[in-house]
Structure 1
Amino acid sequence: MGVKATPLPERMAPGPVELIHGPATTFNMEENLRSSRFTDLSILCGEYTFYVHKVIVTKACKYFKNLLDEACKDQVLELGTTKIDDEPAMVARLIHFLYTGNYPKTHVAHTGVKSFIPLPDTYVVAGREDLLHASMYAMGVKYGVKDLAFTAAEAFRRLGPGNGKIFESNDWPDLSAFIYNSTPVKDRHLRNIVVRQFQWALHHDRSLLDMDKLEKLLNEIPSLAFDLATIPLTKDTYKCSGCSHWQHALTLRCEHKERHKANDNECFKLGLKEQECFKCHKVAVFSKK
């Protein structure tokens, strides 16, 4: 004699749904990262292949979400392979972040990579951690992973954005050029950290600067020269009304700039303080209180 199933009501009763809990389980994202089991997308990058789960990489990455959405529109429902032309070590860190919410500073070993070989790493050498974080910020911007961009910018900032520390390495022209060449013009987060460094050195300790290198850099990156000439010195910070995150004034971009022909900091003086928060990604009112 079979068991007769009771039909579900057409409408649930109003109010909270009572859940029946089973044994506690944990879903270890890092284990999924280190295993190629049940993966359904292969990412070709140079001589390496990364095996990932679509449901994971599309959740926080706009690039992969759009890629698979377009495949569905074109009825390519079984898209199983895609190609990325970027530094394999940086792509490995991008994937690592999509699974775990962090990225390693040292060599990346990924069991989904062909032959299980750790990726070559041209970024992490003595004194180049700043370039690593700047590179990961650029990856976050390029692939539409806002949390990665925020994490990398905060890591870059914690290295010591003030008091001319950027000039402790002789590679500061390369770092400055990389940041300006790898970020959109309107993306001010890392660019303004560089501007603040130069402002501090120019006004407090010019001995930190090699003027010949600076002249060459400004000739190669005119937008940096323009920023140094137009962005005023300021130490103002503003607090997001949504998540209470404090942001430096230079990292806030006013949407009304074209309307009143003022620079970003003037916008705040005029009371136009509704901005997108770099941390919570919501448009909120920023205040100095």
Structure 2
Amino acid sequence: MSGPVESLMQGLAELYESGKLSDFEISCGRYTFNVHKAVICAQSKYFHVPCGREYAEGQRGSIKLKAVEESDDDEACDDPEAVKLMVQFFYHLEYDAKPLELMPVPEEPLEEHLAEAPVIDDSVPGPWSIHGLSSRKRMNRCKRCGRRGLEEDRSYDGTRTTTTTSKSTTDECKSLDGNVVMHAKVFAAAVKYQVPALQKLATSKFRRAAEINWKDSSFAEAARIAYTTTPECVRDIRDTVVKTISDHPILLQRTSIESTVKDIAALNFELLHKAYGLAAMAEVKDVDEGLDSLEYGIRDIL
């Protein structure tokens, strides 16, 4: 028997899929969603206002969100796909971005630290030792993301075979969508419409996607979205962008990243800041604000 949380989630999903008892409509681009005020307002403070009967949207029971393709001002508009995933989250507490085809890692690593680790002897006696079986473990790079997984070479009576002793990192990568652009757009929607739980989830998905797919050309677009669609004080995915470029400086040799960094002064400055080993921008801002408050306090006393 399902627990109370599972039963609630199943009930919400069924309500959305059936459209029963829906009392509000959200439209964006080619999409129209029949939703429930209680469900969306419980997760988004933004919708408290348009759902109220004292406002035109609340009286007619609908709101139209301007889509990016309907205006030249992309930063003030919404991506219909991101809105669709936001609505999906309201009812499932999860969203599924369209998987991005991952680019294979070249045979030769791009950076020295991705080189294959040396073989590590691990001939610990085990139940197979009486048969003369020994083992050697080595770290093997994932062909997609460059992360390492443990594999074991075993020899038996002079014959060598290879078996995997831990879950393949390549298989793990296949379970990730790698869609840094869409996660950045969902994050922007979560910030704009004040959905903190979705903001946290999108941050996590963006971070994991960036880890496995930083080589893809889409990362430059994701970086641009991170810095142009959210307030400067919202650091969540901006910090991931800075860390990713800093961890993989070879990205700066790519035209797309070079252009993005040159066009966005804030990103340029933060990369310079990190290159010199200075404190994170959020920490610097906190310190500056603290000093300002102290200065004003002293002035008041004097």
User: Shorter-normalised TM-score: what interval?
Assistant: 0.5 to 0.7
Q: Distance in 2 between matches of 1:180 and 1:126?
A: 24
- The count of aligned residue pairs is 200
| Aligned-pair identity (%) | 25
The CA RMSD measured in Å over matched residues stands at: 3.0
* 1:36 CA drift (Å): 1.2
Counterpart of 2:265, as a letter, is P
**Aligned counterparts, 1:114-125, within 5 A:** 124-125=99-100
CA contact (8 A) 1:179 1:191 kept: yes
- Partner of 1:44: helix, strand, or coil? strand
Other-structure match for 1:133? 183
Other-structure match for 1:51? 34
Q: Does 1:218 align with 2:249?
A: no
* 1:130 CA drift (Å): 1.5
Counterpart of 1:190, as a letter, is I
- Partner of 1:34: helix, strand, or coil? helix
Other-structure match for 2:151? none
CA contact (8 A) 1:133 1:156 kept: yes
Distance of aligned partners of 1:133 and 1:233 in 2 relative to their CA distance in 1, 3 Å threshold: farther
Q: Distance in 2 between matches of 1:77 and 1:67?
A: 5
Gaps of 5+ in 1: 1-23, 107-123, 237-248, 262-289
CA contact (8 A) 1:177 1:217 kept: yes
Superposition TM-score, scaled by structure 1 size: 0.60
Other-structure match for 1:159? 209
Q: Does 1:67 align with 2:57?
A: no
Other-structure match for 1:243? none
Counterpart of 2:101, as a letter, is A
Other-structure match for 1:143? 193
Q: Distance in 1 between matches of 2:31 and 2:255?
A: 41
Counterpart of 2:40, as a letter, is V
Superposition TM-score, scaled by structure 2 size: 0.58
Distance of aligned partners of 1:51 and 1:232 in 2 relative to their CA distance in 1, 3 Å threshold: same
Distance of aligned partners of 1:47 and 1:105 in 2 relative to their CA distance in 1, 3 Å threshold: closer
Distance of aligned partners of 1:160 and 1:87 in 2 relative to their CA distance in 1, 3 Å threshold: closer
Distance of aligned partners of 1:76 and 1:228 in 2 relative to their CA distance in 1, 3 Å threshold: closer
Other-structure match for 1:170? 217
Which segment drifts farther, 74-83 or 192-201?
Answer: 74-83
Q: Does 1:258 align with 2:258?
A: no
Q: Distance in 2 between matches of 1:125 and 1:211?
A: 20
Counterpart of 1:189, as a letter, is D
Gaps of 5+ in 2: 67-77, 103-177, 293-302
Q: Which residue of the other structure, out of 59, 62, 66, is the alignment partner of 1:81?
A: 62
